């Protein structure tokens, strides 16, 4: 079951989990995270299975478009198939939205074969569950390279220019400095 986290639960997720689950350059400043949560700019969700919170994710919504900025199964519950179930639940939870967008570290972020394998497994996870990679787009946020993966509940195909516009609007609403966000369409 997916449910919105309270402010106190969101703070615990940050302090107990996010610092373990994500590289430091992908984690927002704690005070900014709390402010975004308090102001309902982003939403923090918990996924509960067998009366335990086993995963969490953070979304930003704009014009019926959802950006999932962070998603993680809590460390002690990994490798049990929860991620796959969670993503199907998320797709169902947001079935009336236009598009779901996730950011996945780009392969260029890998410093070694092990990191590359983790990045590729993460990407395959989304692709195997119905997401599609947004081709011809380079995307950098706070100097971190990402690939963009999308899922449209109504099976609408989005052009890269539409994805770019959605992302720019979402990050403008979050208050990200335009200089920290670089999205380019690259047709080859």
pLDDT of 173 over the 60 cut: yes
Give per-residue pLDDT as tens, 128-138.
999 999 888 88
Per-residue confidence (pLDDT) for residue 178, from 0 to 100? 84
Which distant-in-sequence residues (6+ apart) come within 8 Å of 35 by Cβ? 41
Provide CB contacts within 8 A for 53, sequence distance 6+. 46, 47, 74
Vertex 82 angle, CA 81 and 83, to 5°? 95
Q: Give pLDDT, residue 168.
A: 92
For the record, the structure tokens of 21 come out as: 């689950």
Question: Two tokens at 152?
Answer: 């449209």
Share of the chain above pLDDT 90, in %: 64
pLDDT band of 25, cuts 50, 70, 90: confident
pLDDT confidence of residue 187: 67
Q: What is the pLDDT of residue 68?
A: 95
């Amino acid at each position: 079951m997916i449910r919105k986290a309270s402010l106190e639960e969101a703070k615990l997720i940050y302090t107990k989990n996010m610092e373990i689950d994500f590289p430091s350059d992908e984690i927002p400043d704690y005070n900014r995270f709390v402010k975004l949560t308090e102001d309902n700019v982003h939403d923090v969700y918990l996924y509960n299975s067998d009366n335990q919170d086993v995963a969490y994710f953070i979304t930003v919504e704009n014009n019926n478009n959802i950006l999932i900025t962070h998603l993680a199964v809590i460390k002690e519950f990994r490798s049990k198939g929860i991620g796959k179930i969670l993503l199907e639940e998320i797709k169902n939870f947001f079935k009336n939205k236009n598009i779901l967008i996730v950011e996945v570290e780009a392969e260029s972020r890998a410093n070694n074969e092990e990191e590359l394998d983790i990045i590729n497994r993460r990407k395959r996870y989304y692709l195997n569950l119905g997401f599609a990679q947004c081709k011809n787009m380079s995307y950098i946020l706070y100097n971190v390279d990402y690939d963009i993966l999308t899922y449209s509940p109504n099976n609408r195909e989005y052009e890269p220019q539409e994805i770019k516009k959605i992302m720019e609007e979402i990050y403008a609403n979050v208050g990200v400095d335009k200089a920290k966000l670089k999205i380019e369409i690259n047709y080859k």
